[in-house]
Structures are given as C-alpha cells and as structure tokens.
Amino acid sequence: MKAQTTVSRRRFLVHGAKAVGTAVAFPYVIPTSALGRSGFTPPSERITMGFIGAGNQGAGHIFGKAWTYLVGGYVARDDVQVLAVCDVWRNRREDARQKVDAYYARKFGTGRYTACKAYNDFREILARGDIDAVLIGSPIHWHGVMTVLAAQAGKDIYCEKPTAITIRESQAMVTAVRRYGRVFQAGTQQRSEYGGKFLRACELVRSGAIGQLKEVYAYRPGGSYAWNRFGAPKPVPDGLDWDLYLGPAPWAPYAGVDHAHMFCGIGDINWGPHHYDFIQWVLDADRTGPVELWVENDVLRYRYANGVVVHGCPYPGDDVGGEGGGRFVGTEGWIAVDRKNLTASSREILDRPVDPVKVGLYRSTSHSGNFLECVRTRQDPICDVETSHRAASVVLLGGIALQLKRPLKWDPQQERFVGDDEANRLLSAAFRPPWQI
C-alpha cells in the first residue's frame, strides 16, 4: 500500500454559496448545518463527488438501494457532497439532479439548493476542479475509457463491474491509475459486505480448514463482450444522445432498450466478476491468474500454477454458491458460500478458530466506506485497480476460451497466451475514435 498521508480538503468557503450548495448570491444566510455545525461534517472535510450514469445502477449508488448496502446512498452521507450527475438520457440526469438538490435542501434546512449540476457529457464532470472523485455506473463498454480519462483528470474512481471488456483495456486502466496516483475501487463488494460471510470463508480456506484446496466450482462461466445488435432500427428517442451512448462501440442505429445489454454476448461477463473476484481472493491470486484453460463437456475449466482446478459451473446437485460465491473442495472437506449462505461439510470446519493476523486478509466492513477512507488516506482499497484487473482477466480469458473451444496456455506474468497468435488477438478490441486507449 502507499504511505498514509493526510489529504488537504477543499477551499469550501472561498467559493461561497456555490460550494455550500446554493446558487443564491450574498447576502444569504448559510444554515449552521451547511457550515458543519449542529453535528454535521464540516464542508472542508466532505469528499466532493460526481456520478457518471444515473440509471438503475448509478441512481442506486446516489440514493441507496438494497444492493448498495448504504442506507440513503452517497447523498445521505455527511462526509460526501454530491456536486454533479451525468447521463446521456436527459430525463435520468435531470431527475437525479432534482432529487439531490431536494435532499440537500431538506438536510440543510434551506428553501432551495441548486449546486448539483446535470451533464450530458461526462467530460464536463472530469473538467471540474472542485470534484474529488467519480462513481462510474455507465454501460459496461464505457468503464475502461472513463476510468482512464478520470485518472488523467486527477479524479479518484469507484467503477462498477465489469470494469473492462478486454484485457488490454484493463491493463490500460492499471497503468493510468498508477501513473496519476489515483485511488480506484471496483464495485465487487463481496469482500466488504454480506455480514463477513465471504471474508470468513476465505480465512477458513486459506488457513487450511478443508485441508489442501483441490478444486473450486465457480457457478458461472467466463465471459466476454460481443458487439451484438437487437431488432430493427428505430427513431432515436427525444432526450437521448445515442452517439455518446455508443461511445467506443462501433456505430449502429438505435434499436430500442435491448441495446443496454448488447455487449454481454459470450458467457457471463455480468455476474462472473463477482464470482471470480472472490475466487481469486481465496486462491491468493490477486496479482496473478490461471495458467491453463480448456472447455470439457461444454464446461469451462481453469488450472492455476498450484494445481487447483476451477470449474465454470455449479457443483452437481447443490446451488449454494450461485449468488456471487462458489464451492471450495479440499482434501479434508468443503466450504460453500454465497450472499445468503455459508456452509461446509461439517460444523467443525465452520467453527474452526482462525488467527486473522496470521491469515493477513484485508478487512473492510463497508465497500463505499472503504473507498472514501482511502480517498482520504491515499491507501489502496480492498478491490484496488490491480486486484480488479486480475479478476476481470480471469472472466475475460474464459470468454476467449469459450470462443475458441480449444486448450489455451496463459502466462500470467507476461499476460499473453503461449504460442497462440489468434488467442492473443482477442486480448484487445478496436474502439471507435476518439475513444481509443
């Protein structure tokens, strides 16, 4: 991790009413809540954020949904100030802006609050010097490009999964985040949330509770993008910037809302990142990956250098592991975990004492809270950019194997297939100008 430092917070009062959250010129009575009194966090200590994507995923982060595990969302946090929202759908961005302003007006006890701005083009958020961090909740083909540009603009980044649609794109994200010294958190929140079930399972397997780990059932195959098209062309709806929606994707006429899922055409690129991020954690593989891949009986398989085989399918006859988890089979028993369950072949395995210091896992009880704390301290969060890259790579490698349907050897240090030019060509994709990275 980087050395811990203290971040100098924003020149809040210098900007007067604009930063406080009102467009009204002085003289204007600023409520004590907005100044940090009455138990509120002082403005100079709040992390200012912009949200790129205000649809179901992005709005869920702003205002809170069951899967965000943050009551009230980021807007409800005293240590965050939401200054901007962005979406290529006009109704989404305007709705989000109005809700943010209304929330802060109630919170600060003001009659009005108009500091949250709505943008069509995310680059306008990146150009703002008063925004510390962005949350990327856009369609998946945008995640890599937006992350690279956000890092170049000096923003810290929380990026939803899947974080990339090609391995070369994912590598570019690592390079940019490291080069510009940014904090990056991937939205694979299972390491932090769900009452610590995933943490406990990881500690048990890592500490030898099931003996030597032999195989893992991932419940999901790998996956990759596909520039699929759905339906006949239709008129572009009023209020949608279709060209900007497509962005790096090849040009295609609008064909309806099915386009929201048009890049998930091979395997499971959507849910797979949750499963394989956790499996990488258990395998202590956050800086490496598998060395072989093959498809056997229509099931994707991975082999790691330590001999562990990961099966891209459910465990026969059991569905524990189907929601973001997996089943881990060792020489002395098994452990299965997902978002609702933690079970094992014996009660003794689950009750086994574990020394957290000896196992040495990163511990976080709030994924968003971990990200914000790292924005302040400049430490790496629990799903930092390299960890995210390696987990994304496992999913994307699986997508390539599913396409080629032949055994592949992977060099996780060089990040290339061994002796297979055709497979290596699938590590990247041509993006539409000007969005190449």
Please name the residue that has the structure tokens 């003996």: 211
- Mean pLDDT across the stretch 236-246? 95
Averaged pLDDT score across all residues of the chain: 89
Q: How far apart are CA 311 and CA 401, in angstroms?
A: 13
CATH 3.30.360.10 positions along the chain are 194-224+267-425
CATH 3.40.50.720 positions along the chain are 13-191
- Mean pLDDT across the stretch 9-26? 32
Q: What kind of fold does domain 194-224+267-425 have according to CATH?
A: Dihydrodipicolinate Reductase; domain 2 (3.30.360)
- Mean pLDDT across the stretch 303-331? 95
Is residue 205 within 8 A of residue 197, CB to CB? The reply is: no
Q: How far apart are CA 407 and CA 302, in angstroms?
A: 10
Lowest mean pLDDT among 16-20, 315-319, 369-373: 16-20
Give yes or no for residue 297 having a pLDDT over 80. Answer: yes
pLDDT in tens, 38-80: 455 767 789 999 999 999 899 999 999 877 777 899 999 999 9
Half-sphere exposure of 284 (CA within 13 A, CB side): 11
Q: How far apart are CA 409 and CA 417, in angstroms?
A: 6
279 residue type, one letter: I
- Mean pLDDT across the stretch 397-405? 96
Identify the CATH assignment for 13-191 out of 3.90.25.10, 3.40.50.720, 3.30.70.260, 3.40.50.620: 3.40.50.720
Percent pLDDT > 70 in the chain is: 89
pLDDT in tens, 332-374: 999 999 999 999 999 999 999 999 999 999 999 999 999 999 9
- The answer, yes or no, to whether the previous bond of 381 is cis (omega within 30 of 0) is no
User: Where are the alpha helices (H) located in 16-83, listed in sequence order?
Assistant: 17-20, 56-63
- Mean pLDDT across the stretch 135-160? 97
